[in-house]
């Protein structure tokens, strides 16, 4: 192994109560605002509170720890919530119900051991924090009497070892997406894991939530990419070496993947890396309908066309993408629509993005196989312009949420996965639930969906929902909670998974038994009890039946 250390890229300060970094924005286009107002009605701006004016309560006294723990009010506030919609609403309105009493930043695994020992002895709760991009309440401080420390892992960052011949790289768990790719770049390597939250999320967070990147079709999800890892817990330690495969009992790596900090703190991991592709290209086609699009996605995947990315938008998401985003100006969109009508596509059709990574030759042959298959299903090619635009904007999209909230439009996303045969019914049930969830408040929603992360046996569905955000934060959260309960119940009742890649956190935890059974939950509890008998680590996530949606 050659060893090289890398420091994290320095950025402008992170935005509090919003996505990303100060000074970076992606405002909604006038076309999108008009489209949304037509469906939701007129909106009122959601007020923004200046966090520096908040009188942050003094933290409770902290145990003696082997490193300095930050008690700075703004630092603690910035570590109080993740990036779910209610997190943003609470932070923006200055109504966060609880914040950590301190923020600890260990710089090696020995310090993590010592912190956990100190906290277990003093009865202090510890919340591991990677990039804080959880959308399931995973890093949120729950009000209570116990002292809480957030364990920010940003100092456990950088490349610790590289074995290029085996395609293995070891990183500190706090390494962010950009820092990880920056460290691999000079070696001509990539991990190929690009979640939309890539700019901020970390390797440890991806492992803890069982994350999936946009190019998972080509590279696999994080569960495919992790070869080995180190985990530190109050009553145990795992040092699982990188191995290509093993029949030495159940795979404990897979037990850590998705454990959300309950089982221990991942301090480092060895991941499978590959040569950087010479090029990544994305082509766009329109399929005549959603049903035909699903069939096309299934066949492309099962016939093993070697794509790295596949994403199929439903009719509504296609309308939005074509009108306001990917096609460029509105006149361009109507030109595209007229052209599609001439080619026999009625009602706008469904946009599919197909990505291919590799040498120029591989990209060419992949697309030509894909095109041949899609032509038999009536697809019309839009060429590479929409794909180039999507690639250029893909990590800017999260900034859009803040611009919409400024105008009083709330956005949230839900995701699931199901076998190919079940997908149409899961889609209909979830869409119906999201569309009607706010009828009791006499409010409408606008719902978009796309299919992505396809597998041999099924795929993920990703829903985006918009609704008018009342200026009263408690009312806004009540509406969101009602919407989330209705849609999550519909997903589970349709037999689909509670989450394909966002994880369980505290917001999905009450439904976990619906998927894995009460004995499955009991088994998980006994595993977490073995490593953390006092419930020091993040006890309100994963296995916690309490409904905390309105916290």
Ligand X SMILES: Cc1cc2nc3c(=O)[nH]c(=O)nc-3n(C[C@H](O)[C@H](O)[C@H](O)COP(=O)(O)OP(=O)(O)OC[C@H]3O[C@@H](n4cnc5c(N)ncnc54)[C@H](O)[C@@H]3O)c2cc1C
* Footprint on this chain of ligand X (rule: CB under 6 A): 82-83, 127-135, 138-139, 153, 173, 195-197, 201-202, 204-206, 208-209, 211-212, 260-261, 265-266, 398, 501-503, 538, 541
Strand 159-163 to strand 168-172: parallel, antiparallel, or no bridges (unpaired)? Answer: antiparallel
> Least distance (Å) from ligand X to the CB of residue 429?
23
Instruction: Write b or e for each residue in 238-249: b if 16 or more Cβ atoms lie within 10 A of its Cβ, otherwise e.
Output: bebebeeeeeee
CA 478 distance to own-chain centroid:
23
In a 3-state reduction of DSSP, which class is residue 126? strand
Q: How far is the CB of 438 from ligand X (least distance, A)?
A: 22
Contact 471, 44 (CB under 8 A): yes
Q: Least distance in Å: CB of 267 to ligand X? A: 7
Q: How far is the CB of 231 from ligand X (least distance, A)?
A: 7
Return the bridge partners of 450, or none: 313, 462
Closer residue to ligand X in complex, CB, 118/205: 205
Shortest distance (Å) from residue 383 CB to ligand X: 26
Shortest spacing between CB 268 and ligand X, in angstroms: 9
Q: What ranges in 108-194 are assigned the alpha helix state H?
A: 109-122, 177-184
| Smallest gap from residue 333 Cβ to ligand X (A) | 25
Beta strands at 148-152 and 102-104: parallel, antiparallel or unpaired:
parallel
**CA-to-CA separations, 104 to 75, 154, 259, 332, 372, in angstroms, rounded:** 10, 10, 21, 52, 56
Minimum Å distance from CB 342 to ligand X?
A: 36
Comparing CB distances to ligand X, the nearer of 138 and 403 is 138
Task: Give the shortest CB-410-to-ligand X separation in angstroms.
Answer: 14
CB of 265 to ligand X, least distance (A): 4
Residues in the chain, overall count = 551
CB atoms within 10 A of CB 313: 27
The answer to whether 219 touches 308, Cβ cutoff 8 Å, is: yes
Looking at the Cβ atoms of 212 and 528, the one nearer to ligand X is: 212
Instruction: Give 480: exposed, middle or buried? Use CB within 10 Å, 0-12, 13-18, 19+.
Output: buried
CA atoms within 13 A on the CB side of 37: 13
Of 209 and 318, the one with the shorter C-beta distance to ligand X is: 209
CB atoms within 10 A of CB 494: 18
Task: For residue 176, give the DSSP letter.
Answer: B
**Closer to ligand X at the Cβ: 171 or 367?**
171
Closest CB to ligand X among residues 265, 287? 265
- Residue nearest ligand X by beta-carbon distance: 205
Among residues 224, 200, 204, which one has the least CA distance to residue 212?
Answer: 224
Contact 401, 88 (CB under 8 A): yes
3-state SS, one letter per residue, for 435-459: HHCCHHHCCCEEEEEEEECCCCCEE
Residue closer to ligand X (CB basis): 488 or 538? 538
Closest CA to 390 of 321, 470, 302, 441: 321
Q: Which is nearer to ligand X, 128 or 349 (CB)?
A: 128
Cβ closer to ligand X: 233 or 490? Answer: 233
Of 289 and 488, which has the nearer Cβ to ligand X?
488
């Amino acid at each position: 192994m050659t060893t090289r250390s890398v420091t994290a890229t320095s950025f402008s300060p992170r935005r509090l109560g919003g996505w990303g970094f100060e000074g970076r924005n992606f405002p909604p286009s006038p076309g999108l605002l008009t489209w949304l107002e037509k469906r939701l009605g007129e909106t009122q701006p959601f007020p923004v509170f200046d966090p520096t004016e908040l009188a942050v309560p003094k933290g409770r006294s902290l145990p003696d720890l082997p490193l300095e723990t930050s008690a700075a009010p703004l630092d603690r506030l910035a570590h109080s919530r993740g990036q779910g919609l209610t997190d943003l609403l609470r932070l923006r309105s200055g109504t966060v119900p609880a914040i950590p009493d301190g923020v600890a930043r260990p710089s090696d695994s020995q310090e993590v051991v010592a912190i956990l020992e100190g906290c277990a002895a003093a009865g202090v709760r510890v919340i591991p924090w990677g990039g804080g991009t959880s959308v399931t309440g995973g890093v949120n401080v729950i009000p209570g009497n116990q002292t809480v420390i957030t364990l920010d892992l940003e100092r456990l960052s950088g490349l610790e070892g590289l074995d290029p011949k085996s395609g293995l790289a070891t990183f500190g768990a706090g390494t962010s997406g950009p820092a990880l790719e920056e460290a691999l770049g000079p070696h001509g390597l990539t991990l190929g894991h690009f979640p939309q939250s890539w700019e901020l999320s970390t390797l440890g967070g991806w492992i803890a939530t069982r994350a999936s990147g946009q190019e998972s079709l080509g590279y696999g999800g994080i569960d495919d990419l992790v070869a080995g890892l180190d985990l530190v817990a109050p009553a145990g330690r795992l040092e699982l070496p990188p191995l290509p495969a093993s029949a030495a009992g159940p795979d404990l790596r897979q037990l850590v993947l998705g454990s959300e900090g309950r089982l221990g703190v991942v301090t480092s991991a060895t991941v499978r890396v590959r040569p950087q592709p010479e090029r990544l290209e994305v082509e766009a086609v329109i399929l005549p309908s959603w049903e035909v699009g699903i069939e096309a996605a299934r066949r492309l995947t099962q016939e093993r066309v070697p794509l790295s990315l596949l994403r199929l938008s439903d009719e509504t998401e296609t309308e939005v993408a074509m009108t306001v985003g990917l096609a460029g100006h509105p006149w361009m969109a109507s030109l595209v629509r007229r052209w599609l009508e001439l080619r026999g596509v009625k009602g706008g059709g469904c946009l599919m993005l197909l990505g291919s990574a590799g040498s120029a030759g591989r990209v060419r042959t992949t697309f030509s196989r894909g095109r041949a298959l899609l032509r038999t299903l009536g697809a019309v090619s839009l060429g590479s312009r929409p794909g180039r635009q999507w690639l250029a904007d893909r990590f800017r999209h999260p900034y859009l949420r803040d611009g919409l909230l400024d105008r009083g439009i709330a956005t949230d996303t839900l995701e699931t996965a199901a076998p190919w045969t079940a997908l149409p019914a899961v889609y209909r049930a979830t869409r119906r639930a999201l569309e009607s969830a706010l009828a009791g408040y006499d409010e409408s929603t606008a719902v978009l969906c796309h299919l992505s992360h396809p597998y041999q046996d099924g795929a993920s569905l990703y829903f985006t929902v918009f609704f008018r955000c009342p200026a009263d934060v408690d009312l806004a959260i009540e509406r969101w909670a009602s919407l989330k309960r209705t849609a999550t119940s519909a997903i589970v009742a349709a037999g689909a998974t509670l989450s394909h890649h966002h994880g369980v956190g505290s917001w999905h935890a009450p439904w976990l038994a619906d998927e894995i059974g009460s004995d499955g939950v009991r088994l998980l509890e006994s595993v977490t009890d073995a490593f953390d008998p006092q419930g020091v680590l993040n006890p309100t996530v994963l296995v916690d039946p309490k409904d905390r949606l309105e916290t």
